[in-house]
Structure 1
Amino acid sequence: MYGRYYENYCYCIKCFKVFMTEFSNQYSFDILENLNLKLLDYFNCNNNIRIHSSLGYLNLAAYWKLAHEKY
């Protein structure tokens, strides 16, 4: 992301809020291994399965593949 630092800061705050709402506030972990497994599952789902309206209703992996095919 380019631009002014506060634009990037706002984006980071938004991402953190979504992460806290969708993931962190729903689970509690007693050992670190369970946290690691759940985090991997969350990011895999977010990047490879979940569609994003801002990306033309594609998942992130399909969007990057499509973007790199153009160049």
Structure 2
Amino acid sequence: MSQNSQRLSWSHEKVDERLHDIMIAIHQQCFDAAEEYGQPGNLAMGANIAGFVKVADAMLDQGLV
């Protein structure tokens, strides 16, 4: 996102590196959420839980709930 908003031009390698880092972070969030809610190794459930928690936290921060 910052590449477009700041009108930067990244190399192919930089884009791949950044995408790799993002995907590693997403995997870790899914893994951690699954473990925290008693479903270790269930990445689909972890992704659903992590996504729900992210939206719920944003709604709480905005005072919508």
TM over 0.5: no
Structure 2 length normalisation: TM-score? 0.42
- Higher-Rg structure is 2
Structure 1 length normalisation: TM-score? 0.40
